[in-house]
Amino acid sequence: MWLTPLLFPAAAMAITLDLSSTQSISSAAGTAAYNMMTYYTGNQTGQVPGLLPGSLSCDPKVTGTYCWWEAGAMWGSLINYWQYTNDSTYNSIVSESIQFQRGPEDNFNPPNQSRSMGVDDQLFWAFSALDAVESNFPEAGGDNPSWLALAQGVYNFQTSLWDTSTCGGGFRWQVYSFNAGYNLKIAIANGGNFQLSARLAYITGNQSYADWAVKVWDWMATSQLFQTEGDMLYIWDSTDSDNNCTNADHLVWTYNYGTVLAGAAYMYNYTNGSSEWESRVQQVLSSTFSLFFPSDYGGNVMTEMECEPKLNCDQDQKSFKAYLSRWLAVTALLVPSTASQIMPKLQASATGAAGQCSGGGDICGEQWYTTTYDGLTGVGEEMSAMSIFGANLISSSMVPLSLRTGATSESDPSAGGTANDTPSSQFQKPITTADKAGAAILTILACTITIGGAWWLVT
């Protein structure tokens, strides 16, 4: 492990954190995990396994509601929590939740989410399945598909979504053309598919996955989503296919950088340390540091710069630092030369997060650069704190597993179904809700449950 002294006095902390003690770090992560899981009701009678409150009609601008994708991301964070701490408290819930939401074609495309299904939404569930593969998280068993097969099912589904009709390629944000935002090609969908492909190449050794990852990277690199100014790489959030992607918004988010960084790190490792991927890792990493670890807060504490200083992050954005935290840790393992740069950032951010966890019951806020509790709490805040604590438990023994180095999840290269422009089930009941951008769209007031291997509609 890489350890440095605390930056803040212990007396300023609500969660006690000693970075020289794995027990202390594990305890801090456990407190945040517990607080996070108080929001989960899917294991209660009459509720839907795997979903957080509001997942069937989410609006990220409404406090207390969480979109489907964030629930999927939460299960991956708990797989990492188990891997880092050996605490199996939540393992059975994690396993049940991922399998329950996998959809009838085993590719994380359940019919009850079709009216707001984004490419990125599927990906975050696939990432959780890959987290399970890379840590040898216990398989669900029985008739359930393996963790690796679920991720391969998403890959197979999404390759047919590659769109060359506009912008020379790329993934649109939404899976289905009737969804608001279908015109956008966004960084998290493209960077996410890049990471998915890179991880599948790393895990399986199959060159076809690596070739696809290169294809996606190359498109991003020539699109408006990537803009280079000197050594700085700007990864803009979205570009519009309606104008053939001739410009992009100028918004930067931690999870876009984390997604691309991790994908590049997997490609670096898969290619046995190629100089090309090493330079790409370093460019994304240094740009991440410049943007999200501002000198105003000491240069080592992670900040969601677009919204956090004004406390106007929505429910989605409050969780973004969780993913950058975990993917920085993974990068330090896959590209060891980066560890000396990354670990001081993870350590100072964890110390800051502990100081911000000063609400009643050690509830965590989001502004890690101040020990004054900001009054905010929720799944995203707790997941981010848990993830940054856990990231400080990494060691060389936790390098992601592949099928060549001990991963045991069974591969199924033909898993999943093929994408088309209509949902896979006729069971659709549209009602009005809001999409991630706050626009009114149709969604489904229905939930599917698995009974005896068949998919049924519950209203």
3-state per-residue secondary structure call for 269-309? HHCCCCHHHHHHHHHHHHHHHHHHCCHHHCCCCCCCCCCHH
Structure tokens at 447: 């939930």
Average pLDDT, the chain: 90
Q: How confident is the model at residue 235 (pLDDT cuts 50, 70, 90)?
A: very high
pTM for this model (two decimals): 0.90
> Which of 76, 21, 129 has its CA nearest to residue 389?
21
Rounded CA separation 404/395 (Å):
20
- Domain ranges, ordered by start, for the chain: 22-163+273-428
Q: How confident is the model at residue 420 (pLDDT cuts 50, 70, 90)?
A: low
3-state per-residue secondary structure call for the chain? CCCCCCCCCHHHCCCCCCCCCHHHHHHHHHHHHHHHHCCCCCCCCCCCCCCCCCCCCCCCCCCCCCCHHHHHHHHHHHHHHHHHHCCCCCHHHHHHHHHHCCCCCCCCCCHHHHHHCEHHHHHHHHHHHHHHHHHCCCCCCCCCCCHHHHHHHHHHHHHCCCCCCCCCCCCECECCCCCCCCCEEEHHHHHHHHHHHHHHHHHHCCHHHHHHHHHHHHHHHHCCCEEEECCEEEECCEEEHHHCCCCECCCCCHHHHHHHHHHHHHHHHHCCCCHHHHHHHHHHHHHHHHHHCCHHHCCCCCCCCCCHHHCCCCCCHHHHHHHHHHHHHHHHHHCHHHHHHHHHHHHHHHHHHHHHCCECCCECCCCCCCCCCCCCCCHHHHHHHHHHHHHCCCCHHHCCCCCCCCCCCCCCCCCCCCCCCCCCCCCCCEEEEECCCCCEEEEECCEEEEECCEEEEEC
User: CATH for 22-163+273-428?
Assistant: 1.50.10
Provide the phi-psi class of 52: left if phi over 0, else alpha when psi is between -120 and 50, else beta: beta
First to last CA, the chain: 50
Q: How confident is the model at residue 58 (pLDDT cuts 50, 70, 90)?
A: confident
Residues 78-108: pLDDT tens digits? 999 999 999 999 999 999 999 999 999 999 9
The predicted pLDDT at position 9 comes to: 35
With beta carbons less than 8 A apart as the criterion, state whether 202 and 400 touch. Answer: yes
The predicted pLDDT at position 451 comes to: 30
The predicted pLDDT at position 417 comes to: 76
- Is the pLDDT reported for residue 2 higher than 60? no
The predicted pLDDT at position 419 comes to: 65
Rounded CA separation 82/95 (Å):
12
With beta carbons less than 8 A apart as the criterion, state whether 374 and 363 touch. Answer: no
- Is the pLDDT reported for residue 297 higher than 60? yes
